[in-house]
Each structure stands twice: as structure tokens, then as C-alpha cells.
């Protein structure tokens, strides 16, 4: 592709979260000089989400806007604009303000939180996904009343932590036997269950919500929990409903099915972040990663595909997934993907303040969970990326640095 033709292409990015913003930034960093439009459904200046369950929620910060000068980057920012459809044959987006043309499209619309059936419209029921959600929940925490959290996943744990810090009475309702049941195996999360009681929160497992009404949550076994507020954290689904009828390929989760360069089934359409799954040669399966680091790293691959010279394919996108969580006074980090592991190595006592768990496949580390051991995470992540075999006995000794346990 000639430089002139590349320069004239109009790149439109739908979604102004981390993935969308970083795609715009990466395009400029990689030398793309053509027009770039970033469309966001929310009216707010694009912002980072992790602080919403921490500083913003507790009133320690008013916002978490990205420190990006879109004007100096030459990025046309269109906020408060809802995109409702895609017409690939015409290379047009359908918006509430009319048709919007593109030459190259990047789908970065993230994910929508799942709602609790029957709770829609009930006063006092909240989600925690957007800045507006965090702003609405601020006064709830400031009042210090009783809060019921539905779901003991990452968001549920982080909100429960903030609510206890604010002095609220907190009950967490989880349908599974342990917290983080969908994310980590029981041999790891058993220790985490005790963190709730330690913080003064009550964790109810094997508990299902029958109904929610103003001031109370009623469980399937008849128990009634007083609730000045209810916060629902039961997962998220890719925000791809607006693509219906476009012919774009979606996987069973609803995520856009991207290839290993984050290209979709439609020409000149890419997908990145929480709304896209991609094949991982490293792990031998398709991954859907709903975490901040994926929304930071993926855009560089997208930009490389857009700016690349015709015929020169960019490197495949095959990261070691990474995320972190701050909960109950602990810094929890995870790198990798443990589903295909055949061995688990513990480093330290899970009842203690700091410990790690390492997953191996044929002696090679594929994932690591670190609680209060950031050095383990940093070294382990590099070993996972390199596919370096470890000596399991040395790796199990928490006094031995992981890099010194190389076989």
C-alpha cells in the first residue's frame, strides 16, 4: 500500500475506553497520519476503569480521565454518540445522528455487566462499570448503611473491600461454593474465602437470590437480608449487540471472533479488548480476556496491522494475560492461563500474608497467582513468556527466587 493511500484512510474507533483510546494513541505512535475518529457512547472524557472501584468510589478522586491530549494527537473525539449498527458493504456505522463512514473500523466497545434477573428498576440496585455508576454509589458508602453484594468475583471483592473501608455492613452472596469460582480452582480460592470474615464482611456461599425488593434481598432458601443498597457483580458480556445483522463472526460468548492479528471476519475491521476473543498458540485455545492489560497491549497489534506495509504481516498477538486486584488489604496478581496445567506448585502458606501458586504443564510454567509477592509475579511472568522449564522442588521453596529455580 502506498504511503499516500495509507495516509488518506479514515480510521474510526468505536469505544472510548482503554482499548479504544490506546488504539488511537498507538496509531499516532506508529506513524499513522490519516484521520482518526474516536467515538464514545458516554458523555464523559475518556477514563480508566480500575479506579472506579477504589479511589473514585471512596471519594478520593473525582474522576480517572486518561492523560491524553486528543487535540494535539489529531484525534477527532465524538462523545455521547451511540452507535447502533454496522453496514459493512457501505462501510458505514449507523448512529443516533445518522450514518458515519469509515475506511478502517476498530471495534473496541468493551463489555456490559450482567444484570440480576428481576432486579431491573428496583430502587437501590446498582452495577459498577461506569463513572456514573461509581458516582451514584459514592453516597451509598458515605451513608455507612447495609450493603448486599451479589457475586464474589473480582468486582464483588473489590467493592466489598471499599464498602468495609467506608464502614458499611457488608454481606456477599455467592451461588458457588467459594469466591472466584469461575476464575480460579478451589485449591486456591479456599484461602481467599477467609478474607471476607477477616475484613468484617459476611460471605454466604451456595446462596441464590430469589428476589430483590426495596430494602431487602430474599434468598432462595427464604432468608431475608436487609439492604440499603444492592450491588450486582455477576460477570459481563461483550458489548456486541449493535453488530447484529452485520455478518461479523461472533463466538458463543458474544465476543467478536478475531484472528491472531485481531482482524475480524469483515474486511478492514479489527476488534480489540473485552469485546474480542483471539486464538492463542501459546495456550492452544481461543482466549477472551476481560482485563486492563489486554486492553492496553492489544491496540498496538491493531495499529501495526493498520499501519503495516501491504504484504508484511505484523507479529501474531499472543500475550501472557495479566491482571491485578486490590482486595481486603492484599495485592493480588495473576499472569498466564492455567486451564491446561498438569501440576500446581505452592510457594508459601495460603493462610499467611503473602504466598504464590504456580501452574506447570510438562514442567513449564503457564500461570502464576501472587498474593503480596510482586517479585514472584515479575519473575514468573518472564518465565511464562519464555517457556522456561522449572525445577518444581526449588520453585516450591518461597525463599528461592523463581528465576533461580530454572531447570
Quick one: 158 and 183 in the same domain?
yes
Residue 260 contacts by C-beta under 8 Å, 6 or more apart in sequence?
A: 278, 279, 281, 316, 317, 318
The pLDDT-based confidence of 313 (bands split at 50, 70, 90) is low
The pLDDT-based confidence of 49 (bands split at 50, 70, 90) is confident
**212, 230 contact by CB (below 8 A):** yes
Single out the residue in 307, 338, 360 at which a domain terminates: 307
Quick one: 40 and 8 in the same domain?
yes
Mean pLDDT, residues 198-203: 97
What does pLDDT average to over the chain?
94
Cα–Cα distance, 225 to 149 (Å, whole number): 11
Quick one: 137 and 214 in the same domain?
yes
Quick one: 73 and 106 in the same domain?
yes
Residue 318 maps to a domain: no
Residue 192 contacts by C-beta under 8 Å, 6 or more apart in sequence?
A: 178, 179, 180
Cα–Cα distance, 135 to 128 (Å, whole number): 10
pLDDT, one tens digit per residue, over 85-134 is 999 999 999 999 999 999 999 999 999 999 999 888 899 999 998 999 99
Single out the residue in 183, 202, 232 at which a domain terminates: 232
Quick one: 297 and 369 in the same domain?
no
The pLDDT-based confidence of 3 (bands split at 50, 70, 90) is very low
Residue 314 maps to a domain: no
- What local confidence, expressed as pLDDT, does residue 355 receive? 97
Quick one: 34 and 101 in the same domain?
yes
Residue 317 maps to a domain: no
Quick one: 336 and 393 in the same domain?
yes
Report which of 379, 397, 396 is spatially closest to residue 388, judged by C-alpha positions.
379
- What local confidence, expressed as pLDDT, does residue 155 receive? 93
CATH code of the domain covering residue 175: 3.50.50.60
Residue 45 maps to a domain: yes
- What local confidence, expressed as pLDDT, does residue 314 receive? 76
For the chain, the domain total comes to: 3
pLDDT, one tens digit per residue, over 153-170 is 999 999 999 999 999 999
Residue 245 maps to a domain: yes
Single out the residue in 275, 307, 339 at which a domain terminates: 307
pTM, two decimal places: 0.93
Residue 253 maps to a domain: yes
Domain of 294? 3-112+236-307
The secondary structure of residue 252, as a DSSP letter, is T
Cα–Cα distance, 152 to 314 (Å, whole number): 39
Quick one: 180 and 284 in the same domain?
no
Cα–Cα distance, 172 to 190 (Å, whole number): 16
Return the percentage of the chain with pLDDT > 90, whole number: 88
Quick one: 143 and 191 in the same domain?
yes
Quick one: 35 and 104 in the same domain?
yes
Quick one: 125 and 228 in the same domain?
yes
Residue 324 maps to a domain: no
The vertex-146 CA angle with 141 and 150, nearest 5°, equals 90
Report which of 223, 258, 221 is spatially closest to residue 238, judged by C-alpha positions.
258
Asked if residue 9 has pLDDT above 90, the reply is yes
CATH code of the domain covering residue 366: 3.30.390.30
The pLDDT-based confidence of 53 (bands split at 50, 70, 90) is confident
Residue 283 maps to a domain: yes
Mean pLDDT, residues 165-180: 97
Return the percentage of the chain with pLDDT > 70, whole number: 97
Quick one: 40 and 16 in the same domain?
yes
Asked if residue 5 has pLDDT above 60, the reply is no
Amino acid at each position: 500500500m502506498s504511503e499516500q493511500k495509507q495516509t488518506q484512510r479514515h480510521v474510526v474507533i468505536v469505544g472510548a475506553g482503554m482499548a479504544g483510546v490506546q488504539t488511537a494513541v498507538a496509531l499516532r505512535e506508529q506513524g499513522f497520519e490519516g484521520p482518526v475518529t474516536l467515538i464514545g457512547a458516554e458523555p464523559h472524557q475518556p477514563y480508566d476503569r480500575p479506579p472506579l472501584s477504589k479511589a473514585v468510589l471512596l471519594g478520593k478522586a473525582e474522576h480517572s480521565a486518561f492523560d491524553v491530549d486528543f487535540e494535539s494527537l489529531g484525534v477527532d473525539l465524538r462523545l455521547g454518540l451511540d452507535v447502533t449498527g454496522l453496514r459493512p458493504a457501505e462501510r458505514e456505522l449507523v448512529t443516533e445522528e445518522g450514518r458515519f463512514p469509515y475506511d478502517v473500523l476498530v471495534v473496541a466497545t468493551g463489555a456490559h455487566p450482567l444484570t440480576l434477573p428481576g432486579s431491573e428498576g428496583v430502587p437501590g440496585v446498582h452495577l459498577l462499570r461506569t463513572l456514573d455508576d461509581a458516582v451514584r454509589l459514592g453516597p451509598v458508602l458515605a451513608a455507612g448503611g447495609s450493603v448486599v453484594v451479589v457475586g464474589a468475583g473480582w468486582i464483588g471483592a473489590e467493592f466489598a473491600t471499599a464498602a468495609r473501608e467506608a464502614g458499611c455492613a457488608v454481606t456477599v452472596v455467592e451461588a458457588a461454593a467459594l469466591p472466584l469460582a469461575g476464575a480460579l480452582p478451589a485449591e486456591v480460592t479456599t484461602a481467599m474465602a477467609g478474607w471476607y470474615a477477616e475484613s468484617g464482611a459476611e460471605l454466604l456461599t451456595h446462596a441464590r437470590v430469589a428476589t430483590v425488593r426495596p430494602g431487602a434481598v430474599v434468598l432462595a432458601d427464604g432468608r431475608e437480608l436487609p439492604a440499603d443498597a444492592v450491588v450486582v457483580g455477576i460477570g459481563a458480556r461483550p458489548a456486541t449487540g449493535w453488530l447484529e445483522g452485520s455478518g461479523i463472526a461472533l463466538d458463543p460468548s458474544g465476543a467478536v471472533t478475531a484472528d491472531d492479528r485481531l482482524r475480524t471476519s469483515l474486511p478492514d475491521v479489527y476488534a480489540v479488548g473485552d469485546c474480542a476473543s483471539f486464538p492463542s498458540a501459546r495456550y492452544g485455545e481461543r482466549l477472551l480476556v476481560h482485563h486492563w492489560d489486554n486492553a492496553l497491549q492489544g491496540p498496538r497489534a491493531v495499529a501495526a496491522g493498520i499501519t503495516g506495509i501491504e504484504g508484511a504481516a505484523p507479529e501474531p498477538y499472543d500475550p501472557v494475560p495479566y491482571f491485578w486486584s486490590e482486595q481486603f488489604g492484599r495485592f493480588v496478581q495473576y499472569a498466564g492461563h492455567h486451564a491446561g496445567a498438569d501440576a500446581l506448585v505452592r510457594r508459601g502458606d495460603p493462610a499467611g500474608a503473602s504466598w504464590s501458586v504456580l501452574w506447570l504443564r510438562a514442567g513449564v510454567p503457564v500461570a502464576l497467582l501472587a498474593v503480596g509477592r510482586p517479585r514472584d509475579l515479575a519473575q514468573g511472568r518472564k518465565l511464562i513468556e519464555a517457556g522456561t522449564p522449572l525445577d518444581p522442588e526449588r520453585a516450591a521453596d518461597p525463599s528461592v527466587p523463581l528465576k533461580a529455580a530454572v531447570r
